[in-house]
Amino acid sequence: WLLARPLLGSIAGRQAEVRDLTDRLEWRELFAAHLSLVGKNADALEHLSSWADASGRAPSRVLRILAALVTASVVGLGLATIAVPNLRPRVMQLAIASSIVTFVARARFATLLRMTRDFGGVVHGSRPLFRMAEVLALELPSLRAIAESLTAGSRRASEDLSKLARIASFAEALENEVFRWFLAPIFLWDVHCALALEDWRARHGGRVRAWTEALAHMEAVASFAGFSFEHPEFVYPNVTNKVQYVAEKLGHPMIPKARRVGNDVALDGPGHAWLVTGSNMSGKSTLLRAIGTNAALAYAGLPVCAAKLELGLFDIRPSVKVGDSLEEGVSYFYAEVLRMKSIVTASSGKPVLFLLDEIFRGTNSRERVLGARAVLGHLCTMGSVGAVSTHDVALADGALPEAVTNVHFEEQVDGGKMSFDYVLRPGVVRSANALRIMRALGLPVEVEGI
């Protein structure tokens, strides 16, 4: 959900689900507690779904009848020997015959029974989760689709899983070596467990993947609701088809509220972009990260760190963290160019939200300015919106597309001490602090006037 670009119509529905679960703190904590027990065996849910999806080979009718008759005969004759001791040899003969049948059938059913023992624990552990999800989904209209996935008429997923859990419990008895080799063969235990499993799969297997997907959906919504609960000051954005990104007091959600500074963002219309200049540590990269992170939150159906946010449905394309590779023989600049190429290519199909941090920092200033202007101009021409940060004031002072606006951050110096207010201002920055930082950290940099 955080990585995918969703359909516009799904965002409002997911927002409603998150809203409905936000204040249900007790339910979410209990759900998380049950989930923590299942989480260690999460792969087992996939194994269960894969097994349920498989068609399987239906046991023969002859085997079913034989198993029922042999087991009934063993039990019946065993009880009859209490009154008629002479029947004991017959019981022994029948027990030997049933053991032979078991050992012949065991090779056929071994994989199925072993798999059942593997996912048996997760079936037992997940039943409370399914019950909680069913009850809540039936209460909340926003989760009606989940309720439909987990219920079918009078039947519920948790009830059907309870039947599977009972079968799995019988299969788990085979873990006991004494029972497995001396008692189970007499009663065709392996055969009866396998037959019951195949019957259960035939009746309910087609719904299992929908159950697990519904449970995953509920877990994700509950996690998002926890995020919403912990940030009551965040707001739900308005996502539309308009090509825009307009925010009031936008901040980065991972910065604590006491230290967070919000700024207004206005990228209103196709081709609009910001060129962000500023001194080191003033907030340029954080602004770009805030724009992109809040867009991802918005598309996932989460509240965002802003007083207000209206944005279109973009393909988010950042170039914020790029690295070289000694193993692949890729320099930093080459890696950056490859990233930029992917952004330019993506913009050819639809508007993207581009976020370019310190564009083309891996080359000299002349080529950086020429390349940055060309790429920025192309992205704007294609109707994309975004922001570009740079230390190179020459880029901001030169010819830029008409829809590109210069904004900046700056530092404050008082009594030789440097500080930042992280407030975004219009225009190009005219101050710099790189030499001050070098000198403050002990480098032998002495420049007159600094």
| Helices 61-80 and 189-230, axial angle in degrees (round to 10) | 110
Residue 255's closest CA among 231, 235, 236?
Answer: 231
Alpha helices in 348-403 (DSSP H): 365-381, 393-397
User: Distance between CA 329 and CA 148 in Å, rounded?
Assistant: 53
> With bands split at pLDDT 50, 70 and 90, how would you rate the model's confidence at 324?
low
Going 343 to 347 to 350 to 351, the CA torsion angle's sign is: positive
Residue 5 burial class via C-beta count within 10 angstroms: exposed 0-12, middle 13-18, buried 19 and up: exposed
Q: What is the largest CA-CA distance in the chain?
A: 116
Half-sphere exposure of 67 (CA within 13 A, CB side): 22
Contacts 24+ apart (CB under 8 A), 100-107: 101/66, 101/67, 101/70, 101/188, 101/191, 102/184, 102/185, 102/188, 102/189, 102/190, 102/191, 103/185, 105/63, 105/188, 105/190, 105/191, 105/194, 106/190
Between the alpha carbon of residue 263 and those of residues 205, 255, 306, 307, 397, the distances in Å are 53, 14, 9, 10, 23
Q: Which residue did the predictor score with more confidence, 419 or 58?
A: 419
pLDDT in tens, 336-350: 888 889 999 999 878
Enter the tokens of residue 314. 């973009």
User: Distance between CA 338 and CA 320 in Å, rounded?
Assistant: 13
Percentage of the chain with pLDDT > 90?
Answer: 41
Q: How many residues comprise the chain?
A: 450
| Beta-bridge mates of residue 235 | 304
pLDDT (0 to 100) of residue 321: 80
Residue 89 burial class via C-beta count within 10 angstroms: exposed 0-12, middle 13-18, buried 19 and up: exposed
> With bands split at pLDDT 50, 70 and 90, how would you rate the model's confidence at 382?
very high
Percentage of the chain with pLDDT > 70?
Answer: 89
> With bands split at pLDDT 50, 70 and 90, how would you rate the model's confidence at 410?
confident
Residue 159 has pLDDT above 70, yes or no: yes
Name every residue whose Cβ is closer than 8 Å to that of residue 91 and which is 6 or more positions away in sequence: 74, 77, 78, 81
| Helices 42-53 and 88-139, axial angle in degrees (round to 10) | 110
Mean per-residue pLDDT, 304-323: 91
Question: 252: helix, coil or strand?
Answer: coil
Q: Which residue has the tokens 């065996």?
A: 41
User: Distance between CA 332 and CA 224 in Å, rounded?
Assistant: 36
- Give exposure, 333-372, as e/b (b: 16+ Cβ within 10 Å): bebbbebbeebbebbeeebbbbbbbbbbbbeeeeebbebb
Q: Which residue has the tokens 């049950």?
A: 34
Mean per-residue pLDDT, 97-107: 74
User: Distance between CA 353 and CA 317 in Å, rounded?
Assistant: 6
Query: Per mean pLDDT, which range of 109-123, 125-139, 170-184, 228-242 is the poorest?
Result: 109-123
> With bands split at pLDDT 50, 70 and 90, how would you rate the model's confidence at 254?
very high
How many CB atoms within 10 Å of residue 230?
A: 9
pLDDT (0 to 100) of residue 449: 54
Residue 323 has pLDDT above 70, yes or no: no
- Looking only at the bridges linking them, the beta strands covering 385-390 and 273-278 are parallel
Residue type, 343: I
Residue 447 has pLDDT above 80, yes or no: no
pLDDT (0 to 100) of residue 435: 63
| Beta-bridge mates of residue 273 | 386, 404
Residue 400 has pLDDT above 70, yes or no: yes
Between the alpha carbon of residue 287 and those of residues 32, 253, 277, the distances in Å are 33, 11, 11
pLDDT (0 to 100) of residue 253: 96
Question: 262: helix, coil or strand?
Answer: coil
pLDDT (0 to 100) of residue 102: 74
Going 261 to 266 to 271 to 277, the CA torsion angle's sign is: negative
Question: 93: helix, coil or strand?
Answer: helix
Q: Which residue did the predictor score with more confidence, 132 or 391?
A: 132
In contact, 340 and 375? CB cutoff 8 Å: yes
